[in-house]
Amino acid sequence: MATAKDLLNAKGHNVYSISPDARVFDALKLMADKEIGALLVLKEDKLMGIISERDYARKVILKGKFSKDTPVRDIMSPEIICIGPTQTLEGCMALMTEKRIRHMPVLEEDRLVGIISIGDVVKSIISDQERRIDQLEHYIKGSL
């Protein structure tokens, strides 16, 4: 079974982050520049939270705030669900579905080693299933 570590090795260990003191506008600009939907919020390499496009929509736009005036700490989600590198992708998908989250940091011995998204997990699982189907088809054709 594929694990979070396998996925990170395939997609990369890049983690984009922002300070809790930064403005929401800067977080949105970074997300747009990197074409990602969330940033980890780090203060002196300590994981403080996560900010997503959803946080912006619900906590800035709908409340009439301004992204250039609002610090990230005011809208970030401080409770983060993290996983270890040995977590299976099926387990990741189940946890993400149950908790209704789309991004999970991966920690190895309390050290941040990457972040995975639900899109990463689904893409990897589908790719693995397609490989298995192809192998089975070749096996069946070879047996006939």
Q: Please state, in angstroms and rounded to a whole number, the distance separating the CA atoms of residues 20 and 74.
A: 8
Residue-level pLDDT at 24: 96
Domain residue spans of the chain: 4-143
Whether 1 has a pLDDT exceeding 90, the answer reads no
Q: What is the pLDDT confidence band of residue 14, given thresholds at 50, 70 and 90?
A: very high
In the chain, the percentage of residues whose pLDDT exceeds 70 is 99
Residue-level pLDDT at 62: 84
Q: Please state, in angstroms and rounded to a whole number, the distance separating the CA atoms of residues 144 and 140.
A: 7
Whether 47 has a pLDDT exceeding 70, the answer reads yes
**Average pLDDT of span 109-131:** 92
Residue-level pLDDT at 64: 87
Whether 35 has a pLDDT exceeding 70, the answer reads yes
Question: What length is written for the chain?
Answer: 144
Class of domain 4-143: alpha beta
Buried (b) or exposed (e) across 20-47, using 16+ Cβ within 10 A? bebbbbbbbebbeeeebebbbbbeeeeb
**pLDDT, tens digit, 9 for 90 and up, residues 50-78:** 999 999 999 998 888 889 999 999 999 99
